[in-house]
Structure 1
Amino acid sequence: MYKIAGIDLGNDSIKLVLDGAQDALVIPNIVSTGYDRHILQEEDSPLKALDVVVYSPALSQNNKRWFVGTLATELEDSLELEETDNKALSDQSLIVALTALAYQGLVSQSYAGGGLSPMDEVEYVLGTGLPVRTFARFHEAFEKRLTGEHEVTFMSTPQLRGRRVKVRVTRTVCSIEGAAAVFNLATHDNLQVRDDEIYSGCIGVCEIGALTTDLPVIRRMGIDNHFSYGEQLGIATYLDSIIRDVEDVYGYSFPTRAKLVQRVKNRDFVIQRIGEGQASIQGIVDQYFSRAAQRIVELIRKRWKKCPDIQCYYVIGGGAAALKSYILEAAGTMRLRFVSESELQNVRGYLKVAKSRVTQASHAG
């Protein structure tokens, strides 16, 4: 039996949600080359130590060992995506995505049958998405890369050590980031209309990611080709500047953006300086986030002027959660809408798009 899932290959994290499940699986989109670990005490959760060997026809390097997600965030040689990376073609994003699909497949079988079968198998129909600017040129290639048979072997991962998983993706449906989020906001889980204003209206979206900001315009649940737009600008540029400044001023270095993002989410701005007590980095964060918010608000204002039919603007994505207070301040009287669980709106939308395609296909068949 296949599972229907939505997967968002975000530049900062990969998010996965299964049909019928409430919680999303979130894994930082970070990898580093794996090796035999010297383990003093086993981690208390498999997600803290994703150590895998991955095979896929779409990868340029196969059967290589990788530390994925949280395990990689601590390492100096870890890799985070850069602005020049295209997630539709990125090996790194595919490695993290396949690890997530394999892990979720095992967890939903609740680790059962470990010693008996030489290989576990999970089958998926996937909904996913790409930014406005890459969608037209790359969505077919992206669907092709994900579809097919892949294999993930867990190495030193606690509770999953030695498990081999065949991940079979029978179909991939790719939509546009931001547009999927609007579909999620407009519909119930059974795909019935929940909010007619969104479903039938002309809605502007500003979806702030790590490396891109997408501004699709959605009319009656269809993408407006003329006014939809994307910028190669995300929150990562500002995070990198904060990391650099903190290092220059305080000599404290964050190994990865993910570590800084964790701090910002928890509003924990106090760092420990070696032998010199504590310092607050809030001033540096405020400075860069205010600049980011100013830029975002300008983009929205320009778009809204160009397309005055837009009834309301939703600001979503991981960047929206981090920048919300700064954006509201910069927006002044311009009314913008924010939603809870901002960074999960797209992935929940991708799941619904996949579900609606499966339903259509079964009716057609």
Structure 2
Amino acid sequence: MNKLAGIDIGNDSIKLVLDGSKEPLVIPNIIAPGYERHILQEEDSPWKALDVTIYSPSLTQRNQRYFVGQLALEHEDNMELEDSDNKAVSDQSLIVALTALAYQGLMSYASGAAHGNTDEVEYVLGTGLPVRTYAKFHHQFEQRLVGEHEVTFHSTPQLRNRKIKVTIRKVAVSIEGAAAIFHLATHDSLLVRDEEIYNGCIGVCEIGALTTDFPVIQRMAIDNHFSHGEQIGIATYLDAIIRDIEDAYGYVFQSRAKLVQRIKNRQFTIQLIGEGQVDIRAVVDQHFRRAAARMIEMIRKRWRKYPDIQCFYVIGGGASALKPYIQDAAGALRLRFAEESEFLNMYGYLKVAKSRMSQTANV
């Protein structure tokens, strides 16, 4: 039986939720070369030690071993996506996405199937792309996902030496930001929850790690002319924070994700060599104020070009981090924010997939 899932293949993290579940899986979009680990104490969760070999016809290197997510977070040879990367064709994003789908398949394995030494799981997926890459790449993105892939777990606790075939039957690709608004406008049953959003003209500023999208949605339809995307996200400012802290204090963050964890937990004190400590809050504030000013400038620009927009939602993982700074920079400009902002696209992708599947079934 196919599992219906929404997966947000973000540049900072992969977020996955199964239909009927309220607990999303989040894996940092980071990988490092894998090898036989020298384990002194086994991790207390398989999520913390995703050590996999992935075979996929869509990958350039089809049978390589990787440390994924949390395990790669502080690895000296880890890789995070950069501005020039396109998630539609990125091997790294596919590696982390397939790891997430395999992991979730094994964790909810009661409804799966097994043949010999290989477990199997089948999916119908909803996912999305930024405004600027959707038109050109969404068919290629779909083709790379659809098909059979195989993931083998190595030193991962509870999953050691487990192999699973991940079969993706269908993929519904939508636009980042627009899917989030669809989620806000509808119930899980897809019935209308908010008439103003569903029938209105809504502007969106969806702040990601490497991109910021500005789709304009009129009665749940994308405006082709006025929807736009910028090749800048919060990662630009996180990288600047990391550089400034290293220059000033000699403290090195091995990844953006490591810095983001500290900011989310409001842990602004870093440890220096020689038992010294320093508070980095002022450095974070400085760059996040710059980021907020840039976002407000872009929102004003989009709203002036399309004055029929009734309200503007600021969403995404970047919006969660920058919310107080954006509110300060906005002044009299009224903007809307939403709870669990970083998960809105993921839930929207699930609903889009559910909607398209039901339409297909009714044809």
The equivalent residue for 1:138 is 137
Give the secondary-structure state (helix, strand or coil) at the position aligned to 2:267.
Answer: coil
Amino acid at match of 2:229: G
Amino acid at match of 1:249: A
The equivalent residue for 1:100 is 100
Amino acid at match of 1:56: S
Give the secondary-structure state (helix, strand or coil) at the position aligned to 1:337.
Answer: coil
Distance 1:362 1:165 in 2: 28
Distance 2:341 2:12 in 1: 14
Q: Conserved in 2, the CA contact under 8 Å of 1:14 and 1:29?
A: yes
The equivalent residue for 2:30 is 30
- Alignment of 1:196 with 2:199, yes or no, is no
Q: Conserved in 2, the CA contact under 8 Å of 1:204 and 1:310?
A: yes
Distance 1:91 1:126 in 2: 18
Distance 2:64 2:362 in 1: 42
Shift of 1:218: 0.2
The equivalent residue for 1:211 is 210
Q: How does 1:341-360 map to 2 (within 5 A)?
A: 341-360=340-359
Distance 1:58 1:240 in 2: 30
The equivalent residue for 1:338 is 337
The equivalent residue for 1:40 is 40
Distance 1:182 1:325 in 2: 21
Q: Conserved in 2, the CA contact under 8 Å of 1:51 and 1:154?
A: yes
The equivalent residue for 1:275 is 274
The equivalent residue for 1:316 is 315
Distance 2:284 2:43 in 1: 32
Distance 1:256 1:117 in 2: 39
Give the secondary-structure state (helix, strand or coil) at the position aligned to 2:307.
Answer: coil
Distance 2:110 2:248 in 1: 48
Distance 2:282 2:38 in 1: 39
Shift of 1:266: 1.1
Amino acid at match of 2:27: I
Distance 1:165 1:280 in 2: 45
The equivalent residue for 2:173 is 174
TM-score normalized by structure 2? 0.98
Give the secondary-structure state (helix, strand or coil) at the position aligned to 2:106.
Answer: helix
Amino acid at match of 2:51: D
Shift of 1:145: 0.2
The equivalent residue for 1:62 is 62
Give the secondary-structure state (helix, strand or coil) at the position aligned to 2:149.
Answer: strand
The equivalent residue for 2:17 is 17
Give the secondary-structure state (helix, strand or coil) at the position aligned to 2:156.
Answer: coil
Distance 1:123 1:50 in 2: 20
Unaligned runs of 5+ in 2: none
The equivalent residue for 2:256 is 257
Distance 2:82 2:100 in 1: 21
The equivalent residue for 1:242 is 241
Shift of 1:117: 3.8
Shift of 1:267: 1.2
Distance 2:253 2:111 in 1: 35
Amino acid at match of 1:98: L
Distance 2:275 2:84 in 1: 38
Give the secondary-structure state (helix, strand or coil) at the position aligned to 1:238.
Answer: helix
Q: Conserved in 2, the CA contact under 8 Å of 1:73 and 1:255?
A: yes
Distance 1:181 1:112 in 2: 30
Q: CA, structure 1 residues 163+286, in 2 after alignment: closer, same or farther (shift >3 Å)?
A: same
Unaligned runs of 5+ in 1: none
Q: Conserved in 2, the CA contact under 8 Å of 1:111 and 1:160?
A: no
Shift of 1:16: 0.4
TM-score normalized by structure 1? 0.98
Distance 2:204 2:243 in 1: 31
Q: How does 1:123-162 map to 2 (within 5 A)?
A: 123-162=122-161
Amino acid at match of 2:187: H
Shift of 1:276: 4.6
Give the secondary-structure state (helix, strand or coil) at the position aligned to 2:190.
Answer: coil
Amino acid at match of 1:125: V
Distance 1:192 1:262 in 2: 36
Amino acid at match of 2:212: T
- Alignment of 1:89 with 2:89, yes or no, is yes
Q: Conserved in 1, the CA contact under 8 Å of 2:17 and 2:25?
A: yes
Give the secondary-structure state (helix, strand or coil) at the position aligned to 1:297.
Answer: helix
Give the secondary-structure state (helix, strand or coil) at the position aligned to 2:31.
Answer: strand
Give the secondary-structure state (helix, strand or coil) at the position aligned to 1:309.
Answer: coil
Q: CA, structure 1 residues 111+240, in 2 after alignment: closer, same or farther (shift >3 Å)?
A: farther
Moved over 6 A (4+): 111-114
Distance 1:253 1:83 in 2: 21
